[in-house]
Amino acid sequence: MPKPLPVRAAALAATAVLLSAAAAGCGGDDTKDRKDPKADDLTAQRLTWKDCPAPAQSEGGGPAPSPLPDGELWECATLKAPLDWGDPDGDTIGIALIRARTSGTDGERIGSLIFNFGGPGGSGVTTLPAFAGEYEKLRTRYDLVSFDPRGVGRSAGVKCEDDEQLDEYFQQDATPDDTAEQRKLVDNTRAFNAACEDNSARVLPRVRTTDAARDLDLMRQVLGDDELHYFGISYGTELGGVYAHLFPKNVGRAVFDAVVDPTQDPEQGALGQARGFQLALDNYAKDCTSQVEDCPVGDTAQDVKDRIAKLLADLEKKPLPGVFPRDLTQTAATGGIAQSLYSKDFWEYLTEGLQQAYDGDGKILMTLSDSMNGRDQDGRYSNIQAANVAINCADDKPRYTPDDVVSRLPRFRAASPLFGDYLAWSMVSCTDWAVAGAADHPDVGAPGAAPILVVGNTGDPATPYEGTRKMVDALGPGVGVELTYKGQGHGAYDSGDPCVRESVDGYLLDRKVPSSGTVCP
């Protein structure tokens, strides 16, 4: 069972579905600024930009992107990149790109600002237009660009199980209580992983974050920029850190928001997420019970959490009707609750979903869970979870057995009574994966790189705040510039906080580097 995705796009998807219905290690490559023989040919390619089609189902589906506020249309193109960066004269793959041209004049234009919104597994081609309003000020001096990283969406997207199989996979008991349930979970994981190998063997060894970082540098050159201007969110901060390590001289103006801790192995990362989601749940419960009107899901913060725990225990014995014909299981409810904690804007949906579940109806919580898993209302899945598993397993060297998980359960339960088991058992996702993992954690050391603005949110559930300082330290002296946002939810810039916006915009637009240690608000 994949762990909750540290991707801001997932929260957006939840909103869209609800309104219509009712993270990592990588590395293992210390070669910096390498010049590959075929690189000159690839950097000379000319992109053919066309009006954007509707997103493919692997990207999440939906309509073609709406025009920009000034009436300009989004443009899409495909970048040709080596399938194997170790063999640049071999086969190539297409990397799907999307662009909004700058609204400023040629004299004001800085270059392209490339976004990665996280996951790993999130489609930038789908996500950038959805958040375009948040970045309109940045478009005054940049072409806004995003992409489907290799293995994602239309960029040689990883395929695993079909929609019917995925419905069953995401309904399974992800928190086994005995040996038989453990065996079933592992068997299901092996079946999922075998399907990935059967359907995507060609690309599975080539979706490491180091590969995506090399794609970024190729993208920079083909777009005509001397430096990479970059905005990475969640897993995008890890990708940005790996890029800075491999190409420190090519770093331009870069922002890392919702920072992945680059020093953690998968176990430490899952444990950190357990603490982060528990903190977010604590904050939700306190907020709900501090309102002027009574909190409809509990009298005190502890009562709110106790009632949620009882709901989950009851669901293990007897699921509730969910999104027909499926039931709301304990696993689906846990995922739905986690999804609602990605943004404070979704706390109202959590309250409504809990009220509904206490009345015997699981639709809202299940809709939230579906959003996390990339399932639309018609029962079709994007490849976000397949790509997430493939990239994590290619990056992460450790492999965990059920015995490993059982021995660590006390620590996870201490970190989070609600999410501990769920995240501990997520560590078996790479059991029997076809490709060996690259490293325990990514190498992001980037001595000599330009300043990188590293933004952390103290209430972030998916990428806990402590990772911000770890990233700053790992980048090296004089590179990481720390900015703290005291808020809730996953990420800081999209919160709309004026202090964060002013600091980030001033840096990206005017190269005004804030003092490291600045705190907002």
The catalytic site residues sit at 234, 460, 490
b/e for 377-410, b at 16 or more Cβ within 10 A? Answer: eeeebbbbbbbbbbbbbbbbbebbebeebeebee
Distance CA 245, CA 33 (A): 9
Per 3-state DSSP, the chain is made up of helix, strand and coil in percentages (nearest 5) of 45, 15, 40
Neighbours of 414 (CB within 10 A): 13
**Integer angstrom CA distances of residue 402 from 185, 225, 406, 463:** 9, 48, 6, 25
Alpha helix (H) ranges present in 318-401? 330-340, 347-358, 363-373, 384-395
- Spatial neighbors of 87 by CB under 8 A, at least 6 apart, are none
E strands within 156-287?
Answer: 228-233, 251-257
Contact 262, 241 (CB under 8 A): yes
E strands within 184-238?
Answer: 228-233
Radius of gyration of the chain (CA): 22
Distance CA 2, CA 122 (A): 14
- Spatial neighbors of 493 by CB under 8 A, at least 6 apart, are 134, 233, 255, 257, 455, 500, 501, 504
Hey, is 487 helix, strand or coil? strand
User: What is the identity of the amino acid at 325?
Assistant: P
